[in-house]
């Protein structure tokens, strides 16, 4: 039997820490559709952002081993408020409205955008934004707008590629290479890109481990 290296031992411990954290109860705490409704909360927060239909709700459900924690929908723009979830009294998971597309009025989209931007720029306990990007398409202009805002606000963010099971390897490699070159120019970006598939479970354990390191 091959002995584990120190690096492998450390990684295995991180994976287990992430598994234990995300096995804890995760409960809905509050929903905010306006600035006045944003709750004052005591623990660290990790927010999930991304274009509508990028697979955000599916990823949150996969991380927490639940089917219905975050509502999934084939209709872009379904999440119409910022939703806060308490994960084991250790941290908050924050589900942000999808950006870039919604079948509602321009006024409503502008209101959501203002709410999300204000939240992202003024949240003292926000430790990281997971910016979800569809691996089949790579970064879009609307993603770059969010990245620029986070860079300006000095809010740490990490690119999470979703639906990697639906991408051809050569195309996925190109998306990773192109994304990495863009991140080098971004002062608030976390350097590591994470690859995930909610359907296949790819990268879920590793992402849990990464986020567990940000918990209280």
Is 1 part of any domain?
A: no
Taking alpha carbons only, the member of 208, 72, 53 closest to residue 132 is 53
pTM of the predicted model as reported, rounded to 2 decimal places: 0.91
Model confidence over 66-76: pLDDT tens digits?
887 765 544 44
The predicted structure's pLDDT at residue 96: 92
Q: Are 115 and 33 in contact (CB under 8 A)?
A: yes
pLDDT digits (tens, 9 = 90+) for 5-34: 999 999 999 999 999 999 999 999 999 999
Q: Domain with 194 in it: what CATH number?
A: 3.40.50.300
Strand partners, 134: 162
Tell me the per-residue pLDDT of 79-110, one tens digit each, with 9 for 90 and over. Answer: 578 999 999 999 999 999 887 655 566 777 77
Within a domain: 63: yes
d(C-alpha 138, C-alpha 178), whole Å = 8
44 is a domain residue: yes
User: Considering the domain boundaries, does residue 12 fall inside one?
Assistant: yes
Q: pLDDT, tens digit, for every residue of 159-174?
A: 999 999 999 999 999 9
For 193, the domain range is 6-212
Q: Which residue bears the tokens 């306990």?
A: 125
Which positions ≥6 away from 110 have C-beta within 8 Å? Answer: none
Average pLDDT (29-46) is 94
In a domain, 138, yes or no: yes
* 75: in domain: yes
Count up the domains in the chain and report the number. Answer: 1
């Amino acid at each position: 039997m091959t002995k584990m290296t120190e690096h492998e031992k450390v990684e295995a411990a991180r994976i287990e820490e992430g598994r234990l954290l995300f096995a804890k109860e995760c409960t809905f705490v509050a929903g905010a559709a306006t600035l006045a409704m944003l709750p004052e909360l005591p623990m660290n927060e990790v927010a999930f952002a991304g274009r509508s239909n990028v697979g955000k709700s599916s990823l949150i459900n996969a991380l927490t081993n639940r089917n219905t924690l975050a509502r999934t929908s084939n209709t872009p723009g379904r999440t119409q408020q910022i939703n806060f979830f308490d994960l084991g009294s250790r941290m908050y998971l924050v589900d942000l409205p999808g950006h870039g597309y919604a079948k509602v009025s321009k006024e409503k989209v502008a209101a959501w955008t203002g709410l999300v931007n204000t939240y992202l720029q003024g949240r003292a306990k926000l430790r990281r934004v997971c910016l979800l990007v569809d691996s089949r398409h790579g970064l879009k202009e609307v993603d770059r707008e969010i990245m620029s805002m986070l860079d300006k606000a000095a809010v740490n963010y990490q690119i999470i590629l979703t639906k990697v099971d639906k991408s051809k390897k050569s195309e996925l490699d190109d998306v990773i290479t192109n994304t990495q070159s863009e991140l080098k120019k971004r002062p608030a970006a976390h350097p590591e890109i994470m690859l995930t598939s909610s359907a296949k479970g790819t990268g879920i354990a590793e992402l849990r481990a990464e986020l567990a390191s940000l918990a209280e």
